[in-house]
Amino acid sequence: MDVTIRQAQQQVDGWIKTVGVRYFNELTNLGILMEEVGELSRIMVRKYGEQSFKESDKQKDMADEMADVLWVLMCLANQTGVDLTDALEKNFEKKNIRDARRHLDNEKLK
């Protein structure tokens, strides 16, 4: 199922208003977002970094953790009136102007 970012925001909103009953407040969701990013970080530092997996981490799914991060980010966007499709398009424009040569000219990346 291919879903656009805008459609996903709408689906999250529909789920929250029916199954989830209501949104948690914005600060609660910010805290939840930080927790979810931490869970993703834990998996990544064990998979790609130098730490070894603990037994309790072995069953964690990186894709699922990324989806949790995206879910809560969409909740926050919905709560604060941010259209993530528009925001991402503007962000690409900003980066294309600001960084047109920056990375190409970066000796550290060669």
Residue 99 Cα distances to 30, 87, 91, 105, 106, angstroms = 29, 18, 11, 10, 11
pLDDT for residue 50 is more than 80: yes
Q: Record the pTM.
A: 0.89
C-alpha–C-alpha distance, residues 106 and 109, integer Å? 6
Give the distance from CA 52 to its chain's centroid: 24
Separation between Cα atoms, residue 5 and residue 12, nearest integer Å: 10
Average pLDDT of every residue of the chain: 94
Q: Who wins on pLDDT, 72 or 99?
A: 72
5-83: in CATH 3.30.200.20: no
Asked which of 23-27, 56-60, 67-71 is least confident by mean pLDDT, the reply is: 56-60
Closest by alpha carbon to 42, among 26, 59, 19?
Answer: 59
**Cα 17 to Cα 3, 4, 48, 49, 103, distances in angstroms:** 19, 20, 38, 39, 43
CA distance 41 to 17: 29
Encoded tokens for 55: 């037994």
Mean pLDDT over residues 82-104, rounded? 93
Token duo for residue 14:
């529909």
Residue 101 pLDDT more than 80? yes
**Better pLDDT: 39 or 99:** 39
